[in-house]
A and B are shown apart, each in its own frame.
Chain A
Amino acid sequence: MLEGKFDEASLLKKVIDAMKDSVKLCNFNCTENGISVQAIDDSRVLLISLLIEAGSFEDYRCDRNIVLGLEMESLNKIIKNGNASDMLTLVAEDSPDALNLIFEDKRRDRIAEYSLKLMDIDQDFLKIEDMKFDAVVNMPSAEFAKICRDMKTLSESLQIIITKDSVKFNSEGDFGSGSVVIKSFTDLEKTEESVRITLEKPINLTFGAKYLNDIIKSTPLASQVTIKLCDKQPALFEYQLPSGYLRFYLAPKFED
């Protein structure tokens, strides 16, 4: 049996909000360590890897491994009915045909209970080896989101160029072009505002702006985003959860 209680529904609300526009159907794999998801978008360009470790829950138990096949839009409809500050408990039997979601407000005078039918989802599972990256950028997630939104107004592609101590986001469109350069920066008082660039080799990669604009829907989850890049390899965009992560592997564009 699975029983996982979040102190606040807001965490799962943000996670589902971040994923629902990229993937329609997901298997949520529940083990004693927590809940994990691997899902690939329909165009097979973006891979999402979610891990909500047991430590992200107030209480968590899962006696046997359970797979919950969930339709994200339906899950989102139910999740939106709960308040962000409600406690949220996920409950499923060992061979479940439904996931129960129980929202309790903190004064415990209101309990809302929902049941979501499960689906049999046949999905590929890709093996992600330990990847080697040539550049790692840690930066404020809100700043990364603004850059992705701004650059998408010009072109459907966004070029990321990293040299020693700066990252250049470059967009070349039909009616014009634009770029934003950010440099390494340490804010000792507000560390979440800092930009850190770790570089082994210079990077020049191009990505679909549409996918980057899906990834930035994770911005409310974490104040910083970590971007890991390697030439002609998928980029990794990572948002840390209190205990776990939401990762996006995005295939680049390049010439054959």
Chain B
Amino acid sequence: TLKQKSISNFFAKT
């Protein structure tokens, strides 16, 4: 099954 990823997984906080 596919899981919805969070956008925060891909971009670092500044």
Q: Do A and B come from one complex?
A: yes
CA distance A124 to B8 in the complex (A): 10
Neighbouring B residues of A250 by C-beta, 8 Å? 7
Structural contact, B7 and A46, CB atoms closer than 8 A: yes
Partner of B6, one of A44, A127, A233, A256: A44
Structural contact, B2 and A253, CB atoms closer than 8 A: yes
From residue 1 to 14 of chain B, which have CB atoms closer than 8 A to chain A?
Answer: 1-14
Structural contact, A254 and B3, CB atoms closer than 8 A: yes
From residue 227 to 252 of chain A, which have CB atoms closer than 8 A to chain B?
Answer: 233-234, 249-252
Structural contact, B12 and A126, CB atoms closer than 8 A: yes
How many residues of chain A get a CB closer than 8 Å to chain B's CBs?
A: 24
CA distance A249 to B9 in the complex (A): 12
Given contacts A208-B4, A251-B5, A252-B5, contact A127 B10 (CB under 8 A): no
Partner of A233, one of B3, B10, B12: B10
CA distance A256 to B3 in the complex (A): 8
Structural contact, A126 and B6, CB atoms closer than 8 A: no
Partner of A127, one of B1, B9, B12: B12
Q: How far is the CB of A17 from chain B (nearest CB, A)?
A: 22
CA distance A44 to B1 in the complex (A): 20
From residue 21 to 60 of chain A, which have CB atoms closer than 8 A to chain B?
Answer: 40, 44-47
Structural contact, A126 and B5, CB atoms closer than 8 A: no
CA distance A174 to B3 in the complex (A): 18
From residue 190 to 234 of chain A, which have CB atoms closer than 8 A to chain B?
Answer: 206, 208, 233-234
Structural contact, A255 and B3, CB atoms closer than 8 A: yes
Given contacts A126-B13, A127-B14, contact A44 B8 (CB under 8 A): yes
Structural contact, B2 and A126, CB atoms closer than 8 A: no
Neighbouring B residues of A127 by C-beta, 8 Å? 11-14
CB-nearest residue of chain B to A157: B2
Structural contact, B2 and A254, CB atoms closer than 8 A: yes
Q: How far is the CB of A113 from chain B (nearest CB, A)?
A: 36
CB-nearest residue of chain B to A255: B2
Structural contact, B1 and A255, CB atoms closer than 8 A: yes
Structural contact, A40 and B7, CB atoms closer than 8 A: yes
Structural contact, A45 and B6, CB atoms closer than 8 A: yes
**A125 contacts B by Cβ under 8 Å:** yes
Neighbouring A residues of B13 by C-beta, 8 Å? 124-127
Structural contact, B4 and A45, CB atoms closer than 8 A: yes
CB-nearest residue of chain B to A129: B11
**A188 contacts B by Cβ under 8 Å:** no
Q: List 10 A-B contacts (CB under 8 A).
A: A126-B11, A127-B11, A233-B10, A234-B10, A234-B11, A250-B7, A252-B5, A253-B5, A254-B3, A256-B3
